[in-house]
Amino acid sequence: MKLALALAAAICGAAMTAQAAAPPDVIADVIYVGAHILTMEDKGATAVAVRGDRIVAVGDRAKVLRAKGKGTRVVDLKEQALLPGFIDAHGHITGQAAQVRMVALAPPPVGTVTSVAGVQEAVRAYIRDKHIAPGQWVVGFGYDDSQLTEQRHPTRADLDVVSTDIPIYLIHASAHMGVVNTAALRALKIDAATADPPGGAIRRVAGSREPDGLLEESANTQVYAALPTLNALPGGPAAAVADAVEQLRVAMLTNAAMGITTVEDGASLPENLAVLRAAAAADKLPLDVVAHVLWVPPAPFPEMAGAGAYAGRLKIGGIKMILDGSPQGKTAYLSVPYKVPPPGMGADYRGAPALPDAVVDAAVREVIGRGLQLQAHANGDAAEQQMIDAVDRTGAQLGRDAVRKSRVVMIHAQTIREDQLDRLKALGMIPSFFPAHTFFWGDWHRESVLGPERAARISPTRSALDRGLPFTIHNDSPVVPPDILRLIWNATNRVTRSGAVLGPEQRVPIMAALRAVTINAAAQNFEEATKGSLAPGKVADLVILSADPRAVPVADLRGIKVVETISRGVTVYRAN
């Protein structure tokens, strides 16, 4: 409740100043004028003035034009729309950068791979084109068993057909599992005698203990940890920092083309932070970055010096934890079994927690007790219950205000129930939903993962809206591309790949979707005073769209284009 009130107060307070005329001594660098300015405030505007990296006036055109000087550029928007820059509330910008060096395995509409044979051919072509030598690792990303004609994961045997002397590791679209060949298993020292790690699974050939190549959750995470040591990516860990920074810059410009002005690194490892800090120190970040440091107990608590403040364009936002897996990969932790269990699993299979309750309780108490923000990945309603209970117990021990001040974020909240949303509101927690699932995996959820009733409620944005519960939405890139306008279309339409509407009662109005990627997302990051709306004194993070999203049928939102993206007053993307 206090978060909702604080957010409302911030919006109303900014609205009171939004109509103020520019002081006579303020001369703007640029003034935008037009009938389609969406301030995300209570009152509208027909002009916005910017000087340097700040908005200096918002309101009536005639009054704002008082800030016009000899050198002021006046932009007539005509039928175009001006909005605050978009904030993708959860993603992995360093993961997007890493994809530059990986085999592209995504299915349509993102990529072209639709079969196991297509996976094999893509890897073969990469080995050939990149002149990969025996012993040098090949990493791919984005294969999706739900979209392959065989409706299964590739196996160790499938990849051995491609190569038996080049270690191959292909990451699932969810990033929660991956498949490796025999050479990779050998390098990782995984064999029939290797036990499943806590919170993970090494899938086996039917009727034996032999690994079939599929590694889930913590078993998959161990490969991530090993890759730098194994010199996994072309160029390897010894590649110049400048090269890594350049990859990062390119990935960020891809986000800028989507209208995004603040990106997230939602599970930063030490090597990710090293690159981000190097880029910030070299002034090579074209957008703001909020990083949440991944903590996997019982590892020592991460070093969090400087958390909450920008150093250049990088801010350490808090701690990220992972409590379960992915619904599309059938590793999310559910209270009711999956409609169709994965191969080798019984009818009672419902996934598993990543961490036991006692460990989660202690970790949540530690993060909130240190005054840091906690973001926790929780997809299944059983994992969501584990998180809610841990936060509730922490509140009972440390005080409810400590929890509310932390602005605890439940990342994904895919299968959260109505009663659980009530508890989120009572505790002051923020759900960050992933409505892109309705398009990319909606049919799969309905037919195989959850069944029709539960699938219809995946990412229940309308349930949150009806409760007055502030929420955000995200793309979780690189799981899906960082396309904010598609994300907004997902939230307002909930149309699947097949064209069906998944849970029409969970669709939200266009303004609710826009708030979820602007002012609500800014509040999630403790930045509502400086970002998320168009008001004097706020950072000049702006996006110009080809049309006003309010003026087109919601079904046609995908036809709107990003014309220009301005970050801190500087154009970082302009359409040709």
Angle between helices 270-281 and 241-256 (to 10 degrees): 80
pLDDT of residue 42: 83
Contacts of 183 (CB under 8 A, 6+ apart): 163, 164, 165, 166, 167, 168
Could you read off the pLDDT tens digit of each residue along the chain, which spans 576 residues?
444 444 444 434 443 343 444 455 689 999 999 999 999 998 889 999 999 999 999 999 999 999 999 999 999 999 999 999 999 999 999 999 988 889 999 999 999 999 999 999 999 999 999 999 998 899 999 999 999 999 999 999 999 999 999 999 999 999 899 999 999 999 999 999 999 998 889 999 999 999 999 999 989 888 877 775 333 333 444 455 778 888 999 999 999 999 999 999 999 988 889 899 999 999 999 999 999 999 999 999 999 989 999 999 999 999 999 999 999 999 999 999 999 999 889 999 999 999 999 999 999 999 999 999 999 999 999 999 999 999 999 999 999 999 999 999 999 999 999 999 999 999 999 999 999 999 999 999 999 999 999 999 999 999 999 999 999 999 999 999 999 999 999 999 999 999 999 999 999 999 999 999 999 999 999 999 999 999 999 999 999 999 999 999 999 999 999 999 999 999 999 998
Q: Look at the domain 103-226 and name its fold.
A: Diaminopimelate Epimerase; Chain A, domain 1 (3.10.310)
Specify the pTM.
0.90
pLDDT of residue 23: 53
- For 1-85+533-576, CATH gives 2.30.40.10
pLDDT of residue 78: 97
Buried residues in 175-199 as b, exposed as e (16+ CB within 10 A):
bbbbbbbbbbbebbebeeeeeebeb
pLDDT of residue 43: 81
* Token digits of residue 368: 């909130």
Residue spans of the domains in the chain: they are 1-85+533-576, 103-226, 253-531
CA 128, distance to chain mean position in Å, is 33
pLDDT of residue 222: 82
Distance set, CA 81 to CA 18, 26, 33, 399, 545 (Å): 18, 25, 10, 44, 5
Cα angle for residues 69, 72, 76 (degrees, 5° grid):
125
- How far is it, in rounded angstroms, from Cα 97 to Cα 80? 31
pLDDT of residue 304: 95
CA dihedral 480, 486, 488, 494 (to 10 degrees): -80
Angle between helices 381-398 and 418-427 (to 10 degrees): 30
CB 92 within 8 A of CB 267: yes
* Token digits of residue 350: 């419902």
253-531 has CATH 3.20.20.140 classification? yes
